[in-house]
Amino acid sequence: MSWHDVLIAMLPENLLLAAILLLLAVEIVSGRSRDGFAIAFAGAAAAAAAACALYVHGYAGEPFPGHFSVGPTAFLPKAAIIALTLPVLLVSRDDFAESRFYVLLLSSLYGACLLISSDSFLTLFLGLELMSLPVYVLVLLAFLRPESTEAALKYLVLGGAATATFLMGASLLYGASGSLAVTAFSSALGSAQPLAVAGAVLVVVAMMLKAAVVPFHAWAPDAYQGASVPVTAYMATIIKAGALLAALRLFGTTPVVRPMTDLLAILPLASMVWGNIAAIRQSSFRRMIAYSSIAHAGYLFYAFLGEGPGRYAAVVFYLIAYGVMNLLAFAALPRSIDDARHDELDALKGLFHRQPFAALMIAAAMLSLAGLPPLPGFIAKFLIFRNVLAAGYTSYAVLGLVASYLGIYFYLRVIQYMFMSAEEPSAVHGRPRRLAFLASLLCLVPAILLSVFPGWLLDRL
C-alpha cells in the first residue's frame, strides 16, 4: 500500500477532495462567501476524466486491502455518476453561488464514490453516510420555502432510520460470519442461519429505504418537492445511483433464492404500481418525479432477480440512461420567478410555443422515462426485463411490464400540457439561462448516442 498506489487508485476521490479543500481554503482566506462554481466544476470534471482514464487504462488495485478496491467495474460507474453531477452543477449556478453548496455536493459525491469501491461494511457505511448527510443539509439550503425545512427533517429522520437498519444488519452479519467483508452478505444469502438471513434482510431493507422503494418510500415525495431543482435532480439521480450501486456491490453475482426473491420481486413491483399510479394525480413537477423515481427504483431492484453476471450491465446501463434523461428534464425546465409557481405542471402549459427547445427536451426525457422506443429508457427497461425473463420469472416480468405500462399516462400528460394546451395567461417567466442550456446539451448528446448506438456502452459493461 504505497502512497503512489493510493493516489492513483483513488484519483477521482482525491480530485474531489482537492476541490473541496480548495473551496474551503478560498472561503477562509477571503473571509467572505465566494463563488465556488468554477472550482467545483473543474474539480468534478477532472475527477470524471480521471475515472474515465483509469477505466480505459484497465487499472485495478487494492489501496486498502479488505476495505477499498478499484477496478474497471468500479471506475465506469464512478465516471458515470461524477459526469452526471456536471449538469447538476451547471443547473445549480442560478440558485446557489455559495461555496458551501458545492462543498456539500462534492462531499456527497465523494461518499458515493467510496460506496462503489467498498469491500467492507465499514467503508460501505462510511460511504453511505457521507453520501447522505450533506444532502439533508442541501435540501434545506435554498430555504426558498418553509416546506424545505420540513422536507429536510423528514429525509433526515428516515435516512437515519436507514442508517440504523443498515448498521443493525451489518452487525448481525458480522455476528453470523465473523467478518466485516462485503462477501459476508452474499454468503448470508444462501445461508440458513436466522442471524445471517435477518442481517441480509436488514441490509437490503436499508438500501431500499435509501432508494425509496415501497413501503419505505414515503419520505421521497415530500423531500423532492421541498428541495430546490438542482438538489432534487441530484437526489433523483445520483443518490439513487449510489444506493443501487451499493446494492450491486453487495449482491455481486450471487444467485438469489426464495424467499429473498420474493422480497426483491414483490416490493419493487409494489413500487412500480404505486409510483406510477400515484404520479397520475400530481400537480407538482417535482412530486411527480418523486413518484416516478419510486417506480424506477422498483425497476432497478428487479434487476437483482436476474442472473448474476447480467446484473451489473443492467443496473449500470439503466442508471446511466435514467440519470441522463432525468437530468435533461430538470435542466430544460423553464424558470419562473417564484419557486413554488415554477414547480407546478400548469406552468408548463403551452411551453412549446414559448420555448420550443425546452419543450422538446422535456418531451424526450418524459418519453425515455416512460420507456418508449427509440429512446434509451426503452433499452434500459428491455435489459432489465430480459434478464428477469431469462432467469425464469415469467410472471414477475409480465407483471412488471404491465406496471411499467401504467406509467405511460402521466409522462404523456406532461407532453400534452406542453404541446396541446394553450398558455396560461397568468404565467410569469424568468430569464432563460445559458448554463442550463449547456447542461441540457450535455445530457442530450449522450442520450442520442445511447439510443442510436447502445451496443457501444453495452459491450463495455
Q: Is 415 in the site for another protein (CB under 8 A)?
A: yes
Q: Which is nearer to another protein, 69 or 177 (CB)?
A: 177
Count of CA atoms in the C-beta half-sphere (13 A) of 433: 20
Contact 126, 111 (CB under 8 A): yes
Among 65, 215, 255, 432, the residue binding another protein under the rule CB under 8 A is: 215
Which of these segments, 46-54, 116-124, 138-146, 219-227, binds another protein (CB under 8 A)? Answer: 219-227
Nearest CB to another protein, comparing residues 23 and 391: 391
Query: Which member of 194, 255, 430, 432 binds another protein (CB under 8 A)?
Result: 194
- With binding defined as CB under 8 A, does residue 445 bind another protein? no
- Report the site for another protein in 222-241 (rule: CB under 8 A): 222
Work out whether 53 is an interface residue with another protein (CB under 8 A): no
Closest approach of another protein to the CB of residue 223, in Å = 10
Q: Does 430 bind another protein (CB under 8 A)?
A: no
Q: Cell 458545492 appears where?
A: 102
Site membership for another protein, residue 419 (CB under 8 A)? yes
C-alpha cell at 207: 438500501
- Is the torsion defined by CA of 360, 365, 371, 375 positive or negative? positive
The answer, yes or no, to whether the previous bond of 215 is cis (omega within 30 of 0) is: yes
Check residue 203 for interaction with another protein (CB under 8 A).
Answer: no
Give whichever of 151 and 233 is closer to another protein, judged by the CB atom. Answer: 151
The 334-353 site mask, x for binding another protein (CB under 8 A), equals: ------------------xx
Of 9-17, 134-142, 152-160, 430-438, which segment contacts another protein by CB under 8 A?
152-160
Q: Is 437 in the site for another protein (CB under 8 A)?
A: no
292 binds another protein (CB under 8 A): no
71/391 Cα distance (integer angstroms)? 27
Instruction: Select the residue interacting with another protein from 104, 205, 229, 333 (CB under 8 A).
Output: 205
Contact call for residue 146 and another protein (CB under 8 A) = no
Closer CB to another protein, 111 or 306, in the complex? 306
Decide: is 201 part of the binding site for another protein (CB under 8 A). Answer: yes
How far is the CA of 162 from the CAs of 159, 180, 358, in angstroms? 5, 19, 37
By CB under 8 A, tell whether 121 contacts another protein. Answer: no
* Torsion-angle region of 97 (φ positive above 0: left; ψ -120 to 50: alpha; else: beta): alpha
Q: Which of 77, 127, 377, 454 binds another protein (CB under 8 A)?
A: 454
Q: Which stretch binds another protein (CB under 8 A): 125-133, 176-184, 259-267, 435-443?
A: 259-267
Under the rule (CB under 8 A), what is the footprint of another protein?
150, 153-154, 157-158, 161, 165, 192, 194, 197-198, 201-202, 204-205, 209, 214-216, 218-219, 221-222, 258-260, 262-263, 267, 274, 277-282, 291, 352-353, 356, 367, 372-374, 378-379, 382, 385-386, 389-390, 394, 397-398, 401-402, 404-406, 408-409, 412, 415-416, 419-420, 454-455, 458-459
